[in-house]
Amino acid sequence: MLSGRAMMEKRSVDLPPVASTTGGLPVYFLTGKHYLYQTLYCIQSLAKVSAAKFQFILVDDGTFDNELIYRITTQLPGATIISADVIASNLAKVLPADAYPYIHQKREVYPHLKKLTDVHTLPDNNWKVVLDSDMLFWNEPLELINWLNAPTQPLHMIDCVEAYGYSKQLMERLCGCPVTPLINVGAIGLKSQNIHWAKLEEWIKVLEEQEGASYYLEQALTAMLIGDADATVLPGKTYIVNPGAETIKDKKGILHHYVDLSKQHYFKTAWQEFVKW
């Protein structure tokens, strides 16, 4: 698997450019030095299955340098780059450290939180969809594209198992409503204006004080933000989280999110099948 990952990263430099269209459907990625190659494959696959025009917005996870920026401008011409300096300025305005100490402390040690903090403090308070990089599209994602054309409610994938890292009882007590089960944030659409940062600060504090730290904190917080609100749910049978070997081999469905055991197939076979496809 490690050998396959190394080869995937090496071969990513040969991927042809994918132009980003100003005014196209905006798609955000939190990425950086260790994940850009996966971002490029994901974008390649999206561009391959759809004729829609996309505006790719790459948000610095803290590892961008001049070499990486040059590579982005070469392989994703026209892409928008949100630099660490811009992020720091936004955070200072929207989430000053003295008012949000738990968010800032957690952001430093838990990069997943940046999918909320660094994306949704951008000046545009409208709807934003963030895609994880460890995914490949195999057919046109019409449900996702339709949402991007006219977003009115949150959007999310369906997980293969519930992975919030915290008890539903505590989560629901904090957010004051039932929490939708099985939310997966591989593709997640939220309205920045609707994120109540003071609540998020309190939730992080209480969740960790009462039930400890969790790798799934960002997914839990997102589920709490959505609560029991109406949402656009990407069908689990076609937007597949943790696809099995046969599903990957036969390229079933629309989107594969390679988590858990499917990682080995992602690194060993899936990306190579995509390159040949």
- Residue 189 CB: number of other CB atoms within 10 A? 23
pLDDT for the residue numbered 8 = 97
| pLDDT values of the chain reduced to their tens digit, one per residue, 277 residues | 999 999 999 999 999 999 999 999 999 999 999 999 999 999 999 999 999 999 999 999 999 999 999 999 999 999 999 999 999 999 999 999 999 999 999 999 999 999 999 999 999 879 999 999 999 999 999 999 999 999 999 999 999 999 999 999 999 999 999 999 999 999 999 999 999 999 999 999 999 999 999 999 999 999 999 999 999 999 999 999 999 999 999 999 999 999 999 999 999 999 999 988 8
pLDDT for the residue numbered 49 = 97
- The tally of domains found in the chain comes to 1
Alpha carbon distance 82, 115 (integer Å):
13
Alpha carbon distance 36, 135 (integer Å):
12
pLDDT for the residue numbered 277 = 82
pLDDT for the residue numbered 190 = 98
Domain hosting 91: range is 2-276
Return all residues near 113 (Cβ < 8 A) that are at least 6 apart.
103, 106, 107, 217, 218, 221
Helices 66-75 and 36-49: crossing angle, nearest 10°? Answer: 10
What CATH number does residue 22 fall under?
3.90.550.10
Alpha carbon distance 216, 207 (integer Å):
12
Which token pair is 110?
Answer: 């838990």
